[in-house]
Amino acid sequence: MISYNSENTFKLDNEHQISSWIEEVITEENFKLGEINYIFCNDDYLHKLNVEFLQHDTLTDIISFDYTVGKLIQGDIYVSTERVADNAQDFQVSFQEELLRVMVHGVLHYCGYKDKTDAEAHTMREKENHYLQKFANMQ
């Protein structure tokens, strides 16, 4: 089950389509969907979590808490819609594309992908692009 919650005024459009897409990602990665909670928030909210739980005094677009057990994907994914909007502008992509990239990024972490090294980040970006293309093909 995938749920969407907001700590700000953000409202996700096309929840059903995005949920179906995320489920396909999980299936293609040979995992099973347990429970994923997306929580949309502002920079201040996410910054507090980043400091409190990760001891990082920086802004970020996403923090994911992974509760995956074996092949059962579970977790809480916090997304700063302010950071997504800024990053979309910086990368010259639509808000929707950047939001989807961040959303799948969290799930890919749950599937075991890392992004600390250049090689890992490259693989992560390839996976994100692959799944963004799949979403585009669903339209």
- Centroid of chain to Cα 112: 14
Question: CA 70 to CA 79: how far, in whole Å?
Answer: 25
- Centroid of chain to Cα 119: 20
Task: State the DSSP code for 92.
Answer: T
Q: Is 47 marked within a binding site? A: no
SS3 assignment, position 10: coil
Q: Is 109 marked within a binding site? A: yes
% helix / strand / coil in the chain, to the nearest 5?
55, 20, 25
Q: Strand ranges (DSSP E) for 1-139?
A: 2-6, 32-41, 62-66, 72-80
Q: Is 130 marked within a binding site? A: no
What residues form the annotated binding site for Zn(2+)? 105, 109, 115
What residues form the annotated binding site? 105, 109, 115
